[in-house]
Amino acid sequence: MLCHSSLSSCTVLVGTLYRHHQLTLIKHSICFFVGSRDLIQHNPKDRLSIPVPDNKLASSVMNTKSTISQLSIRISFTIIMAIASIASISCHQSHHAFIPLIPSQAICSKKGSRSIPSSEKACYTRKQRDTIHLYATHAHINKENKHSSLLVPSQAITKAHVIGQPRRKSSRLMASTQGKEETPTLTSPSSESQETKSKTNQKVETPQEKQPPRKKHNFKYYGNIPDVHWRAIPIEHLRSHPLYTPLPHPDTIKTLNSLEEVRMFRQDSWQWDELHRGRCTTSQAAPALGLLEPNAAKALGIPRSLQKGCMGAFRRLGQPALRTLEEMNEVLCTGGNGGDKNPGKVWKEMNNIEGGKFPFAAKYMPTLTKEELGVRRREAKHYVNNLSSPMRVRMSWGNAQEATSVLTAMNHLSKHDPELNILEVGMCGAGLDLNATDSSTGDSPRLIVGASPDSVIRYSNGTLEVLEVKNHCPFVPSDWMSGSKAQKKQKKKFGDYRIRELPLQFSVPAVYIPQLMMEMLSCGKNCRSAIMVRQTATCGAVILRMHRDDEWIEEMIYWLQRFMAKYVDEESPPPPNFFWDGDDESDRYRRFIQRTKELSEQVELVEDVKNGDIQRVLGARGLKLPLFLD
């Protein structure tokens, strides 16, 4: 066994011979374990500093003949390896994590160096004048090493150093995430039982929103003909799903017995469009509340592309509206929607297959053939050639993919409640008290509201939740990027559009808070929460839950009524930053904005859905369905 003085002498010898190389030594890469078990218990940022002799001694060593220098270096390597072997045995006996290294494995390669064999690439980094450190690299982590999961902190700095770490798991979390992923935990097999008892699993800190290296997809990233219907399940097929309750065909509705029954008109009917006239719906709530004005939008983090002002809401609320039951029966119950499409049997219930659970609530039977793909290609080319704005592609994607996102929520929520139903609804809230006409005077309120959720979820215990889906379009124009005009022009040569993949955030953007709250308001007092699905084409989806806030809803109605009285009734267009500046209640409004921002972060992550777990249309006989059709 080497004594302490011998080890110190070896250390000085190595430091002397390598002074001009500026080696860097992490204290955990080579464990000396000379009577101290606490060596690896220190802070990972601490380094094992080795003093270097003065310049005269170093110069004398460096001026020796090359043959003696090379012989000394090889002797030093042998000594270090012997020390490593002794320390390894000591670590095994004391249950410490130790990875036996030779110097060439423990030296990174950022710069070139001399006198080291080509098989032992090394680099040297100066940190302090009189201190030498040695950094461990990824090469020392071996899959076959049974102690590879027992890394000391400095040897497991990042997730990339851990072999076989699983992908971020999707889990049902009933806690506020505030837009952050939960960081993974490193556990060792040998200490798993001890950690279970102590419940002190150490978490690895990762940067916020940092994603693992993206796997390259096998599709084109540039093209001229984006397929907005890419693998989308049409709403006509969703209506025949065994867990979906559709609305009747609009032409079959001959009379309305109450105001609230207007929700029976489908959202693809002309009656649903007519109900928007003069009514403050979810699309006009955010502009009328001033959330899209520059100052409020900046405070809420709303992107400039959505800051469209309030003039659309100003004009909409100034239109005449259907307010009474008599007017609605006279105007709406007249048919005119054409025949209903019967898709036939497109779903097959498959509760169990060969002893295993089928991943979805039902199997989707239709597939897309090569001939049908050719027809879609011609239609898409005609559509793109007649576009007035590239933004129309993004809007069309959201509409075409809506039923697929509703199906995503249905498939994953039904795993926990197989008896739930997804209800199709139209315009809700017409029968609210704040919309009611005064029976004594016959006067109706100036402000009437309504909302149209994408669906309503009815659980087996009678609980209701509104369902709203947001589909993030993968297509953006090629020149929507930073850089010079020449760079943009060069990118445009690859195609007019490109694929943009962004990581999903576990939060509800502030601009959608009025929409969710108004939907919960319009569905009645028993509706206490809302589900939002944020779905992408290539990065999966997240299912989020937001709870109802009645105090915020009261404030929303107050500011909507103020907008109606101060600007719409007076036929006076609002100035920029109305409510924020120049209003006698600006302080109250700013508190309202602050509360809106807080609500956008107070959501629950219900499910993190992998891209492969989303049910979509498949190609017939293995036909590949590309995002671009050119």
In this predicted structure, the answer to whether residue 242 has a pLDDT above a threshold of 70 is yes
- Residue 12 to residue 51: CA distance in whole angstroms: 7
End of a domain among 165, 198, 233? 165
459 and 589 inside one domain: yes
431 and 508 inside one domain: yes
End of a domain among 120, 140, 165? 165
pLDDT at 350: 81
Write the pLDDT tens digit of every residue in 358-388: 899 999 999 999 999 999 999 999 999 888 8
The dihedral of CA 55, 60, 64, 68: what is its sign? Answer: negative
In this predicted structure, the answer to whether residue 15 has a pLDDT above a threshold of 50 is no
242 and 145 inside one domain: no
The per-residue DSSP string of 466-525 comes to EEEEEE---EEETT-SSS-HHHHHHHHTT-SEEE---PPPSS--GGGHHHHHHHHHHT-T
Of 110-119, 524-533, 535-544, the range with the lowest mean pLDDT is 110-119
Write the pLDDT tens digit of every residue in 412-428: 999 999 999 999 999 99
End of a domain among 150, 165, 180? 165
134 and 280 inside one domain: no
The dihedral of CA 233, 236, 242, 247: what is its sign? Answer: positive
In this predicted structure, the answer to whether residue 390 has a pLDDT above a threshold of 60 is yes
261 and 152 inside one domain: no
281 and 401 inside one domain: yes
599 in a structural domain: yes
116 and 16 inside one domain: yes
292 and 153 inside one domain: no
For the segment 482-503, the average pLDDT, to the nearest whole number, is 74
Bridge-partner residues for 245, per DSSP?
Answer: 423
192 in a structural domain: no
255 and 142 inside one domain: no
259 and 401 inside one domain: yes
470 in a structural domain: yes
136 in a structural domain: yes
127 and 261 inside one domain: no
The two structure tokens encoding residue 495: 């195609």
355 in a structural domain: no
pLDDT at 139: 41
In this predicted structure, the answer to whether residue 340 has a pLDDT above a threshold of 90 is no
Query: Are residues 76 and 14 in contact, defined by beta-carbon separation less than 8 angstroms?
Result: yes
11 and 103 inside one domain: yes
CATH, residue 434: 3.90.320.10
Write the pLDDT tens digit of every residue in 282-336: 999 999 999 999 999 999 999 988 888 899 999 999 999 999 999 999 999 998 8
353 in a structural domain: no
pLDDT at 305: 82
CA count, 13 A, side-chain hemisphere, 503: 14
pLDDT at 512: 96
Total domains present in the chain: 2
**Domain span including residue 53:** 4-165
21 in a structural domain: yes
211 in a structural domain: no
Query: Are residues 26 and 48 in contact, defined by beta-carbon separation less than 8 angstroms?
Result: yes
User: Considering the chain, what percentage of its residues have pLDDT values greater than 90?
Assistant: 50
Residues listed for the chain: 630
